Structure 1
Amino acid sequence: MDDTGRTPVVDLRLDRAHSARIYDYLLGGRTHFAADREAAGRILAAFPAAGAAARINRDFMARATRRLAHDGMVQFLDIGTGIPTSPNLHEVAQRIRPGARVVYTDNDPIVLTHAAALLRGRPEGRTAYVEADVTRPESVLGAPRLLATLDLTRPVALSLNALLHFIGDDGADRGHAVVEHLKGALAPGSTLTITHATADFTPAAMAEVGAVYARAGTPFRLRTEAEFRRLFDGWEFIGPGVTLSHRWCPDRPGDALRATSAEAACYAAVARKP
């Protein structure tokens, strides 16, 4: 059921490639169909490291969540959740903080059908799923299920992993506006975790990746390092600051050498609100 208590009618549009299912395919998942596999094949033809980049991004999510949980964060908001892929964010956070409260949000119908998998958290904590559109951030922040799970007057760890590059601009930087709205609603001590695709290292390949998504009806807006850094204005970086996703606090020193910047093709950073 949605937040009004009604059971939503879900149109999965299986005849059209979907960004969540393409990402699932690149991660080696099973929730994808012919149109998704065809689009993923075109992405891999243009950018053969796409699968590795997806896995690198997922590994970053786990490392960043562990770091924040060890630092004492107990409330997490993951926007643009995607199809569940273990370990999910709540599994990582609650392994360290069993009482952690986690809210997932997405507006993709395929994610809604898998939402139950995101609600199997530790009994000491809470997990919830909210269907909402991040381009209307007030619909996320004001969702009754979110407000019943998180206390927005206290610090929240906000994650926007591999999300913002799927927000179209329509002549303005809508992604930046969304981030500023969310930042303004969070209490001091909250954190912001973002990963974002970039063409800084492989411009031709990433342009073709964008064209594949555009043909599927999905916007794909890349950012430079300077544009990515601007998303964190006014907040204090944690760890190494802005870097490539595989270089952010690797678990082992050699891990950062297992991929090149061109293969990762994704900036990452974590920051805290003063």
Structure 2
Amino acid sequence: MHRGKGMKFVGDSRVPALSERKPNIPKDYSEYPGKTEAFWPNFLLKEWLVGAVFLIGYLCLTVAHPSPLERMADPTDTGYIPLPDWYFLFLYQLLKYTYASGPYNIIGAFVIPGIIFGGLLLAPFIDRGPHRRPLKRPLATGFMLLAVAGVIYLTWESVVNHDWEAAEKQGQIVAEVEIDKESEGYKIYSDQANGCINCHGENLDGGAGPALVDTGLSADEVKDIAVNGKPPGMPAGLFKGSDEELDKLGEFISGLKAE
């Protein structure tokens, strides 16, 4: 601008005009075949497709194999053997060891898992190498393999050592039956001196012992088991009542029929 000669404007070609809006076209990555691509829509679309396949697969599995149901939880049943879902079996097995259970529950439930998962979280910061091959990332690879091996081993030990037969019996849903808890037979059954209710439950639906509803046993067979026991779980001599009470107990249990 010169004094007395007016004002002149100079435009800069590096600033695009607002009216010239360019379409949202992804960059051309043809110079790097197989190495990189546009995030949208190329990469994101592939991720969505893979996620959809896995989601449909899981839905099919849940329809084909529904979650197993057990009888209603009973807090008074001290003989029940709990079992968590498969993805927590390794922690369940860990809590069975001496220095991870009982007075050391804090170690098994928090300290050991905290060290393991903390090591996995710190692995990328400990080994900051740029390589992507596992052999060139020894620390990160070693942490991961050790954690996977530990989870697999503990899960396997939990599955092998669990009493599946007893768990299946105790978790079965039994048919409901109306029980007259004012009857003489039930009063004899619920007498703590005889010990029946402690193992077979308040509603005779089982606990540490089997359910006594719809057993198919006769009154004499019930009396024989009450006096002589039934190996391996029920010892002899548990019933402490009189012969008359034994007769009433046998008739009461043999008469329980599921609806």
TM-score clears 0.5? no
Q: Over alpha carbons, which structure has the higher Rg?
A: 2
The structure with the greater share of residues assigned to helix is 2
The structure with the greater share of residues assigned to strand is 1
TM-score w.r.t. structure 2 length? 0.20
Name the structure, 1 or 2, with higher relative contact order (CA <8 Å, separation 6+).
1
